[in-house]
Structure 1
Amino acid sequence: MSTKITAQKRESGTPHSSLTELRGKGDVPGVVYGFQTETTPLVVSEIDLIKTLRESGRNGVINLEIDGKSINVVLNDFQRDALKGNFEHVDFLAINMSDELEVSAPVHTVGESPGEKEGGIVNQPNREVTIKVKPSDIPDAIEVDISNLAIGDTVTVGDIRGNVSYDILDEDDFILVSIAAPRTQEELDELEAPAEDAAGEPEVINGDAEDGEKEA
């Protein structure tokens, strides 16, 4: 089920000062384009945008209403203020609900592995995969069960490909989860060694430190 957001058209080529004024009022300038839709500049309420994204998720289908017309869209791109985090611009992509999309889906682990209970470390070198799926079937996340993983085990795309109903576009050897062995005491000592060296005795050149103090 898609969520809904209302937008208003704005003039193309809006001056920078006017865009700044819009943002100051709590609005976000943006644009919609794509399937059976002319590229149209628009503006949405930032509060409504945040609420909609919380309900639909990053990849969810949004019902965009503009001038009385409803368009099925997804959030294709956005820019945020680096310091404040506010939305500065949004791009909505109009979609055909019958066509598949390529989107990124987050990977979440579920369960606790025996290896983790033994002190192993759960690593997720890749937290997203690229999938091809119809808009109505986009998952909130892909769950990877790690409850049977021992130390040294890994889960790759090839291991989960048959468990989902959509295409995963990454290669089979794309690693999603691994259980690494805990560090040995020797490895921990090696990590601490540079700090100890840095805090050691001062280097002595041409005599010991005491002689140097006498000469001074």
Structure 2
Amino acid sequence: MKTFELTGTKRSEIGKKATKALRNAEEIPAVIYGGDAKEATAFFVKANEVRKLIYTPEIFLVNLTLDGKVTKAILKDIQFHPVTDNVLHLDFLHVLEKKPIVIDVPVVLDGLAEGVRAGGKLSLDLRKLKVKAMYDKVPEKLHINVEKLALGKSVQVGELSFEGLELLNAKNAVVCRVQLTRAARGLAAKNAE
């Protein structure tokens, strides 16, 4: 997993007025929870510093510096404004050495499926899978080999297994499938005659 360096400043004032003043100064309110602390810690970060963390399909382990103390964390949730699409709030989760984390990992399909060679179309239904694992076992991407995937067949979550990871999606959820195209149906009907 890649790392991302981020510096935050603890918030002394909490409330609508203080939050609005932060957002007007192009700073994003945030919170980190979990870990040894019983309560969440409120802080803020500069909007331009988190752009590469937010607008990417990759996952990062964040080295978050608050008051000179570095904490390992992952970005758990992002709240966007419904109209302007500005970032309103960030939630970080404290990462511990001995406690597993739950995170969405991007899926990558490897190989050319048999069904595609036969005229089908490969579609990726789940772009990310929710996994539970120790933070150092989480890969940057989950690679799925689809070379043996025939026409009209699919790969479900229950058929997949990755070392050191527990998949939390529904077992019958379809990750990818090879669909029959109109051209392939027409060719099959023509050959049947």
**TM-score (norm. length: structure 2):** 0.82
How far apart are residue 12 of structure 1 and its match? Answer: 4.2
Does 2:142 match 1:132? no
CA contact (8 A) 2:119 2:183 kept: no
* 1:104-124 Cα deviation digits (max 9, x unpaired): 222222222232133212233
How far apart are residue 95 of structure 1 and its match? Answer: 2.0
CA contact (8 A) 2:116 2:178 kept: yes
Matches within 5 A, 1:12-161: 12-14=13-15, 16-37=16-37, 38-53=39-54, 57-58=58-59, 60-161=60-161
Matches within 5 A, 1:198-209: none
SS at match of 2:160: helix
CA contact (8 A) 1:3 1:56 kept: no
In the alignment, the residues of structure 2 paired with residue 90 and residue 119 of structure 1 have an alpha-carbon distance, to the nearest angstrom, of: 44
Distance verdict in 2 for CA 1:186–1:124, change over 3 Å: closer
Residue identity in the other structure for 2:19: L
In the alignment, the residues of structure 2 paired with residue 34 and residue 137 of structure 1 have an alpha-carbon distance, to the nearest angstrom, of: 19
Gaps of 5+ in 2: 187-193
Determine the structure 2 residue equivalent to 1:214.
none
How far apart are residue 125 of structure 1 and its match? Answer: 3.0
Determine the structure 2 residue equivalent to 1:174.
173
Q: Which has the larger radius of gyration?
A: 1
How far apart are residue 177 of structure 1 and its match? Answer: 1.3
* 1:160-204 Cα deviation digits (max 9, x unpaired): 21x4331223354332111111126999xxxxxxxxxxxxxxxxx
Distance verdict in 2 for CA 1:31–1:171, change over 3 Å: closer
Gaps of 5+ in 1: 188-216
Distance verdict in 2 for CA 1:55–1:67, change over 3 Å: farther
Q: Which has the larger strand fraction?
A: 2
CA contact (8 A) 2:4 2:53 kept: yes
Identity across the alignment (%)? 23
RMSD over aligned Cα, in angstroms? 2.6
How many pairs does the alignment contain? 184
CA contact (8 A) 1:61 1:136 kept: no
- Mean CA deviation greater in 16-25 or 177-186: 177-186
Compare relative contact order (CA 8 Å, sep 6+) and give the higher one, 1 or 2: 2
How far apart are residue 89 of structure 1 and its match? Answer: 0.6
Residue identity in the other structure for 2:133: V
Determine the structure 2 residue equivalent to 1:165.
164
Distance verdict in 2 for CA 1:39–1:171, change over 3 Å: closer
In the alignment, the residues of structure 2 paired with residue 179 and residue 34 of structure 1 have an alpha-carbon distance, to the nearest angstrom, of: 41
In the alignment, the residues of structure 2 paired with residue 132 and residue 184 of structure 1 have an alpha-carbon distance, to the nearest angstrom, of: 41
In the alignment, the residues of structure 2 paired with residue 29 and residue 134 of structure 1 have an alpha-carbon distance, to the nearest angstrom, of: 28
* 1:36-89 Cα deviation digits (max 9, x unpaired): 13422111011111234568934x221111111111111121201223322111
Determine the structure 1 residue equivalent to 2:7.
6
